[in-house]
Copies of this chain bind each other. A is one copy, B any other.
Amino acid sequence: MGVGDVSKRILLGRKLRSAQLGETLLPKRIALPVFASDALSSVAYAPDEVFIMLGIAGASAYAWSWKIGLAVALVMFTVVASYRQTVHAYPSGGGDYEVATVNLGRTAGVTVASALLVDYVLTVAVSISNAAQYAASAIPDLIGHEVLVATIAVVLLTAMNLRGVRESGSFFAVPTYLFMVAILGMCAYGFVLMLNGSLPDAESAELHIRPEEGWEGPLNQIALVFLLARAFSSGCAALTGVEAISNGVPAFKRPKSKNAATTLLLLGLIAVSMMMSIIVLANQMAIRFVDPHKLEQLRTAGGDAVAEDYQQHPVISQIANGVFQDFSPGFYFVITVTGIILVLAANTAFNGFPVLGSILARDGFAPRALGSRGDRLAYSNGIVFLAVMAIVLIILFDAQTTKLIQLYIVGVFVSFNLSQLGMIRHWSRHLATEKDPGERRRMQRARAINTFGLGLTSVVLVIVLITKFLAGAWITILAMGFFFLLMQAIKKHYDRVSEELAADETDKALPTRVHAIVLVSKLHKPTLRALAFAKATRPNALEGVYVSVDDKETAKLLEEWDDRNTGIPLKVLHSPYREIIRPIVEYATAIRQANPRGVVAVYIPEYVVGRWWEQLLHNQTALRLKGRLLFTPGVMVTSVPYQLRSSELAVEREEREEHRVRPGDLRRGRVEDERDRQITR
Contacts and interface: CB of A to CB of B under 8 A. Distances in A.
A532 B503 CA distance: 13
Nearest to A606: B630
Interface string A602-617: 0100111100001011
A514 interface: yes
A643 interface: yes
Interface residues of A, number: 91
Contact of A536 (B510, B624, B626, B639): B510
A642 B375 contact: no
A501 B514 contact: no
A587 to B, nearest CB: 13
A503 B524 contact: yes
Contacts of A529: 507
A498 interface: yes
Contacts of A564: 503
Interface stretch (A28-36, A132-140, A364-372): A364-372
Of A490, A539, A654, the most chain B CB neighbours within 10 A belong to A654
A490 B582 contact: no
B537 A621 contact: no
Given A372-B579, A372-B580, A639-B626, A524 B511 contact: no
Contacts of A373: 577-579
Nearest to A632: B641
Contacts of A638: 601, 636-639
Contact of A369 (B533, B582, B621): B621
B528 A503 contact: yes
B490 A617 contact: yes
A386 interface: no
Contact of A526 (B501, B582, B607, B635): B501
A631 interface: yes
Interface string A623-663: 01010111111011111111111010011001000100000
A620 B601 CA distance: 23
Contacts of A606: 630
Contacts of A614: 493
A286 interface: no
A536 B524 contact: no
Interface string A590-602: 0000000001010
Given A358-B578, A494-B617, A654 B637 contact: no
A644 to B, nearest CB: 6
Nearest to A530: B636
A74 interface: no
A559 B605 CA distance: 38
A195 interface: no
B637 A639 contact: yes
B523 A536 contact: no
Interface in A535-550: 535-539
A250 to B, nearest CB: 11
B537 A514 contact: yes
B577 A21 contact: yes
A423 to B, nearest CB: 23
A353 to B, nearest CB: 16
Contacts of A532: 507-511
Of A498, A502, A641, the most chain B CB neighbours within 10 A belong to A641
Contacts of A513: 536
A63 interface: no
Given A368-B620, A620-B378, A511 B497 contact: no
A500 B371 contact: no
A442 interface: no
Interface string A23-46: 000000000000000000000000
Contact of A524 (B501, B639, B670): B501
A525 interface: yes
A537 to B, nearest CB: 5
A490 B614 CA distance: 9
Nearest to A589: B15
A539 B501 CA distance: 26
Contacts of A580: 372, 374
Contact of A533 (B511, B582, B617, B642): B511
B654 A628 contact: yes
A19 to B, nearest CB: 9
B645 A631 contact: no
B578 A624 contact: no
A17 interface: no
Nearest to A630: B641
Given A372-B578, A536-B513, A620 B524 contact: no
A199 interface: no
Contacts of A75: none
Interface string A279-311: 000000000000000000000000000000000
Contacts of A514: 536-537
Contact of A581 (B372, B504, B523, B526): B372
Contacts of A502: 524-525
A618 interface: yes
Contacts of A670: 577
Contacts of A524: 498, 501-503
B537 A525 contact: no
Contact of A368 (B490, B527, B618): B618
Nearest to A364: B617
Nearest to A512: B536
B375 A624 contact: yes
Given A577-B21, A631-B650, A621 B372 contact: yes
A142 to B, nearest CB: 36
Given A375-B620, A501-B522, A510-B536, 16 more contacts: A21-B577, A358-B578, A368-B621, A374-B580, A374-B581, A500-B525, A501-B644, A503-B523, A503-B528, A507-B532, A511-B532, A533-B636, A631-B651, A636-B638, A636-B641, A637-B638
24 contacts: A367-B620, A372-B580, A374-B581, A374-B582, A377-B620, A493-B617, A497-B607, A497-B609, A500-B645, A501-B644, A507-B532, A511-B533, A511-B536, A537-B539, A606-B630, A608-B630, A608-B631, A630-B643, A632-B641, A636-B638, A636-B639, A636-B641, A637-B638, A638-B639
